[in-house]
Chains A and B, each alone.
Chain A
Amino acid sequence: MENYLYAIITGIAAGFISRVVMLRNDHRNYPTYPHGHLTHLSLGFMAAALGAVAIPAIAEEDYTAVTFLVLAAQQFRDIRNMERETLNRLEETKLVPRGADYIEGIARVFEARNYLVIFSALITSGLAWYLNGIYALAGAVICVLFSLCFMNGSFIGDIAEIERGELHFEGSLLKINDIVFNNVGLPQVRKKIMDEALGVIIKPKDDNARLTLDAFGQRMAIIHDVVSILGSKVEMDEKDLMPMARKDPDKGYLALYIVANEPDLEVLIEVIKKVPVLESSYNTTLKTFSGRKAAD
């Protein structure tokens, strides 16, 4: 009995710690603090408990318990739906939305992190059950580090180079370099844009990156992250100052325009570099034979 308790508590502790480590609160303020955090920590605790009891249940040949555990683990699929629903509702009140791809990415990450928690708890409780505390501790540390590695995807800074773009008007057409953004009719708005707007060029490093940046969801994610840090002067029913990203169809680069509350070009470039590449937008065409052949 004590052995069970020991293995289960060790597993729960390892799983819960990995969930705490994976729960980040940054500029995106999602999950919201404190209640969003509380929800995810509670779910993380349940996931850890599920993972931790699996090995003792198998060892006791209690296969009914194991079957129920598998059924319970499937419930974590609902986390994705929960996140998707919440974020989609929030979209309705946002001037600059996240976009469906970003929401799907976030929802997927929350679901996957609970599976990582189950995995950490399972490994740690197994080691505690069959070996001893030292192995369990080492296993827990490795599992937490493994979970952290899984968290780190690639960023826009890895796949593209970002530099200042030449923002100018050609008549009433707002342009960055040679990409046309918008037609701005009023002279006072044109002056405001010339005085305050920032423009950058995002140049993909290869054809994979070019296709990734082509994805509309990825562009929306970039804009959303930039606005969440630098702010935007866009107002309801006054869409002249709406931040936008447009691509040059021939050269493949992307231009981004924003009238930010904090017009700091260096920060803008840094923020864009740290925007995550979305799983749904990530493209690996150069890994295929046809893709390489088409690119040469």
Chain B
Amino acid sequence: MDIGLYGIILAIVTTAEADRIYGGACPIFTAYEDKEKNELSFKLARILGGAVHDLGNGVHIICRHH
């Protein structure tokens, strides 16, 4: 048992253009603007039980920590 944040990526939310998005092992959700990205991230985090992390390049990752 540990206090800290460690986990797996459950989903990715991004405002990136479609040509910059490639397939992978993780579901990717696209948003048109930051507001939509924040709302999507918030809802996904609550549904999936994860925390939202901002990578700073228009990408949010939702991670589950244990």
Contact = CB atoms under 8 A, between A and B. Distances in A.
Interface of A: 91, 96-97, 99-100, 171-172, 182-189, 216, 219-220, 223, 236-240, 242-245
A171 B53 CA distance: 11
B3 A243 contact: yes
Given A171-B54, A172-B53, A186 B3 contact: no
Nearest to A183: B53
Interface of B: 1-5, 38, 41-42, 45-46, 49-56, 60-61, 64-65
17 contacts: A96-B3, A99-B1, A172-B54, A184-B51, A184-B54, A185-B41, A185-B60, A219-B3, A223-B3, A237-B64, A238-B49, A239-B5, A240-B52, A242-B3, A242-B4, A242-B65, A244-B4
Contacts of B3: 96-97, 99, 219-220, 223, 242-245
A244 B65 CA distance: 13
A171 B51 contact: no
A99 B50 CA distance: 23
Secondary structure type dominating chain B contacts: mixed
Contacts of B4: 242, 244
B50 A185 contact: no
A205 to B, nearest CB: 24
Contacts of A239: 5, 51, 65
Contacts of B60: 185
Which among B50, B51, B53 has the greatest number of chain A C-beta atoms within 10 A? B51
Given A97-B1, A185-B54, 19 more contacts: A99-B1, A99-B3, A100-B1, A171-B56, A182-B5, A183-B53, A183-B55, A185-B52, A188-B38, A216-B2, A219-B3, A220-B2, A223-B3, A238-B46, A239-B51, A242-B4, A242-B5, A243-B3, A244-B5
Sort A-B residue pairs by CB-CB distance and give the 7 closest, nearest first: A237-B49, A185-B52, A172-B54, A185-B54, A183-B53, A239-B65, A97-B1
A238 B42 CA distance: 11
A28 B55 CA distance: 39
A185 B9 CA distance: 14
Nearest to B4: A244
Contact of A186 (B52, B56, B64, B65): B52
A243 B3 CA distance: 8
Contacts of B54: 171-172, 183-185
B38 A187 contact: yes
A98 to B, nearest CB: 9
